[in-house]
A and B are shown apart, each in its own frame.
Chain A
Amino acid sequence: GENVEQHPSTLSVQEGDSAVIKCTYSDSASNYFPWYKQELGKGPQLIIDIRSNVGEKKDQRIAVTLNKTAKHFSLHITETQPEDSAVYFCAARAAGYSTLTFGKGTMLLVSP
């Protein structure tokens, strides 16, 4: 089955800096890669996703890049703000399959 590795497990940045979280996946059949933000005591919220037919997608301060050959995808957050502090999860799903496999999460701490 699919295996998703996520790094780093914790990331501390100063407000205004950029943050990058990286994931790798094992199943070359995976074609959908969402990112979720989970705040304390809440359920994960989808913040951005990318499909395997594109290499990059942006939405305001967040962007996701995908390297299918290397089976890597990354989340980039620019101009970080304290409210970006949360746990971020990457996930992957194979074509024709409904179950998402999640990485183990990255705790992002943005200091004012």
Chain B
Amino acid sequence: GEEVAQTPKHLVRGEGQKAKLYCAPIKGHSYVFWYQQVLKNEFKFLISFQNENVFDETGMPKERFSAKCLPNSPCSLEIQATKLEDSAVYFCASSPGQGAGGYTFGSGTRLTVV
């Protein structure tokens, strides 16, 4: 399709629980990006993929965050043992290729950790 589909739209987890977010990029886009947007609007880059391979993971808090993009499956971002500060909107975006222009963003998943 021509949109980046993120599920679920909202997710509530108790502190210490696992959270898993999904992203289906636009068909034909080979790059996928995950960003975290906190209350002050700032976008924090987490990780990017080129097809199923990690391209840049410099933003990932590796101790609790992991992500995958497997063939023929939505990409996923998983947070083990969530903390209150993980509460944010997580956006996925895709692009056709390196240097190919802007991203197309999904509508985000709002994660609330209580």
Contacts and interface: CB of A to CB of B under 8 A. Distances in A.
How big is chain A's contact interface, by range? 20 to 34
B103 A100 contact: yes
A98 B40 contact: no
B41 A98 contact: no
A49 B102 contact: yes
A110 B113 CA distance: 34
B6 to A, nearest CB: 8
A95 B99 contact: yes
Interface in A79-112: 87, 89, 93, 95-102, 104-105, 107
Interface of B: 4, 31, 33, 35, 40-43, 45, 48, 50, 55-56, 91, 93, 95, 98-99, 101-108
Interface of A: 32, 34, 36, 38, 42-46, 49, 87, 89, 93, 95-102, 104-105, 107
